[in-house]
Structure 1
């Protein structure tokens, strides 16, 4: 950040009084510009023993499979974001259920939230950000082609919980592996 979005003057990176972290501070009007993590919200759309996955039509990870998920918008709840993203990416309507995973991804300044959800019908198809959308049984999940570690972790927890017959909420943090460049 070089310029203040409030007045257009130059900003400097410094620790403001009463704070502990460097922030972009406007030299003219004194506005402190906080940069906070982005929230990614998604769903595990269930239909019986199968779950709905989307094959990405966009980068990052074009061509890889994921749960319907994306960045939360202002003025919506996390559950509303999960339903909207599922509709946008899979043209699918869902009933959002319980929170399932909350995963911190500090090296990219994100928090990923995934809900369990029930598909309301089988009227789904690829949205603009998906090449294809399909229902998968556990044995058919394309594990080597899952787009993101947070999604793979969520799916592993989901199938472990389902085998156990009891679903809980999973809270985790994904650390950056040494010399890693993959998401």
Structure 2
């Protein structure tokens, strides 16, 4: 950040009085510009013994598979964001269920939230950000082509929980990916 969005003057990166972290502070009007983590919200849509995945038509991870998910918008709840992202990416209608995974990804300043969801019907198709959308049984999931580690973790937990019959909220914190991560 070089300029204040409040008055247009230059900003300095320093610790403001009463704070403990460096922030962009306007030299003219004194506005402190806080930069906070982005929230990524998605759904794990179920239909019988299958889950809905989207093949990405955008970067990052173009051509790889993921759950329908994306950045939360202002003035919506996390559950509303999960339903909206599923509609946008898979043109699918869902009933949002319980919170399923909450994964901190501090090295990229994000928090990933995934809800379990029930597909309301089989009327789905690729949205603008998807090349294709499909239902997968566990054994058919393209595990080596899953786009993001948080999605891989969510899917693995889902199938383990389904086998055990014990559903729980899963939390984790991910560091930077290892060099061999796709």
Instruction: Compute the TM-score of the two structures, normalised by the length of structure 2.
Output: 0.98
Q: Secondary structure at the match of 1:159?
A: helix
What does residue 134 of structure 2 align with?
134
Q: Give distance in 2, aligned partners of 1:24 and 1:112.
A: 26
State the Cα distance separating 1:182 from its structure 2 match: 5.3
CA-atom RMSD, angstroms?
Answer: 1.2
State the Cα distance separating 1:176 from its structure 2 match: 1.1
Q: Give distance in 1, aligned partners of 2:114 and 2:167.
A: 13
Q: Secondary structure at the match of 1:175?
A: coil
Q: Give distance in 2, aligned partners of 1:19 and 1:181.
A: 38
Structure 2: stretches of 5+ with no match in the other structure = none
State the Cα distance separating 1:41 from its structure 2 match: 0.2
Q: Give distance in 2, aligned partners of 1:182 and 1:78.
A: 28
What does residue 122 of structure 2 align with?
122
Deviations 1:112-141 (A, max 9, x none): 000000000000000010000000000101
Q: Give distance in 2, aligned partners of 1:110 and 1:32.
A: 21
Whether 1:167 and 2:164 are equivalent positions in the alignment is: no
What does residue 66 of structure 2 align with?
66
- After superposition, the Cα gap between the structure-2 partners of 1:21 and 1:182, relative to the gap in structure 1 and judged at 3 Å, is farther
List structure 1 segments (4+ residues) > 4 angstroms apart after TM superposition.
none
Q: Give distance in 2, aligned partners of 1:66 and 1:140.
A: 14
What does residue 113 of structure 1 align with?
113
Q: Give distance in 2, aligned partners of 1:57 and 1:145.
A: 14
Kindly report which structure 2 residues correspond to 1:52-91, keeping only aligned pairs within 5 A, or say none. Answer: 52-91=52-91
Deviations 1:53-104 (A, max 9, x none): 0000000000000000000000000000000000000000000000000000
What does residue 144 of structure 2 align with?
144
